[in-house]
A and B are shown apart, each in its own frame.
Chain A
Amino acid sequence: MENNKFVERKMENKILENQKMENKNQKTKIRKSEFTKAAKAAFPHTIPVLTGFLALGIAYGVLMQTKGYGAVWSLLMSLVAFCGSMQFVAITLLTTTFDPLQALLLSIMVNARHLFYGISMLDKYRGLGKARAILIFMLCDETFSISSSIDPPGDVNRKYFYLTISVLDYCYWSMGTVLGAILGNFITFNTKGLDFALSALFVVLFLEQMKKKSNWMPGAIGLAGALISLQIFGAENLVIPAMLVILAVLILGRRKLEVKETPKMDTGRVNTIDGKNIINTKGVVAGKMIAEEGTPTSVSPREEREQVC
């Protein structure tokens, strides 16, 4: 009797364990399919970065090579620091006397614009758990411009969508720098002008931002602030003064700019459960109510969402 019970219990345990395993397997399966779906949705957006980063990365690798730094150093810099334009500046740091403090300060100044990227992405990267640290680590100009301008489609896992963009861009750049260092001298077709892909990316994503009327003024402020700063401080020192001018105008103009923001604030909010996008139904209702009350500029929230997507 006792023995029988023992065997029974063992069997039960086994069945339970099997069920657990099955559950686990199913979960990983679901996660896998969700990831594939998000990756498929995200990959096309990164193609321009692929071309641009390969071109620029190769240029960087070749340049490092000519200064006596081979593929390993280029790759190490790209993997650890991952900061495009600053890496070009860092070549001069590597070819003069050793001064890590200057390297640190220069890096903070050249990369100061990332501060604003972070502020812009606070909301979008909210609630993504451990992935958030990776996303922040990889938040370069190009990744920021894609992730801030393009919303993941409604049925796509938000975390995986942003991760795909970030990781792909990171890989493109690292690959490019290594390729440049190894076979830069063998490239025979004329690549002059290929790096314009990144300028084109910024122009197009600027146009994407301009699809929202509420973005017209901030966009104009950004252009004007940068142009003025370029005129006064020159090409080498344009970023920080431009950031300060833009910040000042945006803060001073808050009341005017924010009124137009109201519909967006209600609709743009996205609730997150398990990193998925769920349109905030309350927000939609609230937005509609505002529209019915007759704010002249407000677009129906759903329409606006579609426009953005």
Chain B
Amino acid sequence: MLTPIQIIITILAVAVGTMITRFTPFLLFPESKEPPKMVTYLGNVLPAAMMGLLVIYCLKGVSVVEEPHGLPELIAIVAIVILHKWKDNVLLSIGGGTVLYMILVQLVFI
């Protein structure tokens, strides 16, 4: 177990590392200057690309080989896509998908 001072220093180190990644773009391209065209372009296309990355990122722990072969996730996501195309309601899609997933992992694929 670390001493309290060591714990605080570790927490600060983690925080500084995180803040470096959060603040760097804003420090590199301050408001007073027009950012390079390439950066503006990336700012336009990156959100969609990063959302794709985040979808995979949050499913990275799912194994296709082991039981239940990622079926709960697959079923829940298909349901979310259908629900969202049908009702187009963000909260309903997320809530419905989550409840379905909980039912699947608690009652169906045990």
- Give A contacts to B, CB under 8 Å: 44-45, 47-48, 51, 68-69, 73, 76-77, 80-83, 86-87, 90, 93-95, 98, 100-101, 103-108, 111-123, 125-127, 132, 136-137, 139, 141, 144-145, 148-149, 190, 192-194, 196-210, 212, 215-227, 230, 235, 238-239, 242-243, 246-247, 250-251, 254, 257-258, 261, 264-265, 268
B97 to A107, Cβ gap below 8 A?
A: no
Shortest CB-to-CB span from B76 to chain A, Å, is 7
B65: Cβ under 8 A from any A Cβ: no
B94 to A226, Cβ gap below 8 A?
A: no
Cα distance A103–B60 when bound, in Å?
A: 23
Shortest CB-to-CB span from A225 to chain B, Å, is 7
With contact pairs A80-B12, A116-B46, A136-B26 given, residues A221 and B80 touching in the complex (Cβ less than 8 Å): no
Which residues of the partner chain B approach A200 to less than 8 Å between Cβ atoms?
A: 76, 80, 93-94, 97-98, 101
7 residue pairs bridging A and B, Cβ less than 8 Å apart = A100-B13, A192-B105, A200-B76, A206-B48, A254-B41, A257-B45, A261-B41
Which residues of the partner chain A approach B13 to less than 8 Å between Cβ atoms?
A: 100-101, 103-104, 107
Q: A98-B10, A222-B51 are in contact. List 19 more A-B contacts (CB 8 A).
A: A48-B91, A48-B98, A90-B10, A107-B14, A107-B15, A108-B20, A111-B21, A119-B39, A120-B46, A193-B101, A203-B77, A204-B97, A207-B80, A218-B47, A220-B52, A222-B50, A242-B56, A246-B53, A254-B38
Q: Which of B18-58 contact A (CB under 8 A)?
A: 18-26, 29, 31, 35, 38-58
Which residues of the partner chain B approach A251 to less than 8 Å between Cβ atoms?
A: 38, 42
Looking at the complex, which one of A45, A69, A149, A207 makes contact with B81 (CB distance below 8 Å)?
A207
Shortest CB-to-CB span from A77 to chain B, Å, is 5
B106 to A192, Cβ gap below 8 A?
A: yes
Cα distance A225–B52 when bound, in Å?
A: 9
Chain B facing A: main interface SS: helix
Cα distance A207–B101 when bound, in Å?
A: 18
A48 to B94, Cβ gap below 8 A?
A: yes
Shortest CB-to-CB span from A72 to chain B, Å, is 10
Which residues of the partner chain A approach B58 to less than 8 Å between Cβ atoms?
A: 198-199, 202
A223 to B55, Cβ gap below 8 A?
A: yes
A261 to B44, Cβ gap below 8 A?
A: yes
Looking at the complex, which one of B11, B29, B48, B90 makes contact with A209 (CB distance below 8 Å)?
B48
Shortest CB-to-CB span from A63 to chain B, Å, is 15
B25 to A119, Cβ gap below 8 A?
A: yes
A107 to B18, Cβ gap below 8 A?
A: yes
Shortest CB-to-CB span from A253 to chain B, Å, is 9
A48 to B95, Cβ gap below 8 A?
A: yes
Cα distance A160–B86 when bound, in Å?
A: 31
Which residues of the partner chain B approach A247 to less than 8 Å between Cβ atoms?
A: 42
Q: Which of B65-110 contact A (CB under 8 A)?
A: 72-73, 76-77, 80-81, 84-85, 90-91, 93-95, 97-98, 101-102, 104-106
A136 to B94, Cβ gap below 8 A?
A: no
Which residues of the partner chain A approach B14 to less than 8 Å between Cβ atoms?
A: 77, 81, 83, 86-87, 90, 93, 103-104, 107
Q: Which A-B residue pairs are the 10 nearest by beta carbons?
A: A222-B52, A107-B17, A118-B25, A222-B49, A226-B56, A215-B48, A103-B13, A193-B102, A223-B52, A114-B21
Which residues of the partner chain A approach B105 to less than 8 Å between Cβ atoms?
A: 192-193
With contact pairs A115-B24, A136-B23, A193-B102 given, residues A246 and B10 touching in the complex (Cβ less than 8 Å): no
Shortest CB-to-CB span from A261 to chain B, Å, is 6
Cα distance A48–B95 when bound, in Å?
A: 7
With contact pairs A196-B98, A200-B93 given, residues A120 and B106 touching in the complex (Cβ less than 8 Å): no
